Amino acid sequence: MAKITYIEFDGREHVVEVKNGLSVMEGAIKNNVPGIDADCGGACACATCHVYVDEAWRATVGGPSAMEESMLDFAEGVEPNSRLSCQIRVKDELDGLIVRMPESQH
């Protein structure tokens, strides 16, 4: 179980508890946190679950796979701390994680 803070583009914060094994994307969708669309449901097929990982958490979360990187390369407003949230698995070490959402997923 990890407490995750999702921050919308306009600064609104959503703090939710997410079970281990779920993805950071699923944590948002299942709790109706706006700002993550996840059109493909987590198949790493659409790049509509783009988030910015808080700098303090980048090392713990790790970097994207080659497939994810290729998808991200075409997303809007990509930064070095960009990830697709469907590819981040929740685990105890991520308790306290902060992610920010871009203005748009499309």
Partner 1 sequence: MSDERAVIIGAGHAGGSVAAHLRQYGWSGPIVLIGDEPIAPYQRPPLSKAWLKGEATAEDLGLRGDGFWDEEGIELRLDVHVSCIDTIGKRVKLASGEFVPYDKLILATGARARKLALPGAELDGVLSLRTAADAEVLKNRLGPGRKLAVVGGGYIGLEAAASARALGADVVVVEREPRLLARVACSPLSEFFLTCHRRHGVTFALGADLAAIEGVDGRVTGLSFFNGDPIACDTVLIGVGAIPNDELAREAGLDCDNGILVDLAARTSDPDIYAIGDCTRRPLPIYGSMGRLESVPNALEQAKQAACDLTGKSPPPGEVPWFWSDQYDLKLQIAGLPLNADQLVIRGEPRFGHFAVFHLGPDQRIQCVEAVNSPAEFMGGRLLIASRKPVAPERLRDISIPMKQVAGA
d(CA 64, CA 49) in angstroms, rounded, equals 13
Query: Taking a C-beta distance cutoff of 8 angstroms, is the pair 28, 85 a contact?
Result: yes
- Choosing from 5, 14, 31, 95, the residue that interacts with partner 1 (CB under 8 A) is 31
Which of 25, 22, 14, 18 has the alpha carbon at shortest distance from 2?
A: 18
By CB under 8 A, name the one of 39, 79, 93, 103 that touches partner 1.
39
77 in contact with partner 1 (CB under 8 A): no
**Which of 12, 41, 63, 91 touches partner 1 by CB under 8 A?**
41
Is residue 11 close enough to count as binding partner 1 by CB under 8 A?
Answer: no
Helix (H), strand (E) counts: the chain:
3, 5
Of 12, 67, 77, 103, the residue at the interface with partner 1 (CB under 8 A) is 67
To which residue do tokens 């959402």 refer?
A: 101
Nearer to partner 1, 41 or 63 (CB): 41
Residues 6+ apart with CB under 8 A from 26: 18, 42, 86
Under rule CB under 8 A, residue 71 binds partner 1: yes
- Residues at the site binding partner 1, with contacts judged by CB under 8 A: 22, 26, 29-32, 34, 37, 39-41, 43-47, 67, 70-71, 73-74, 106
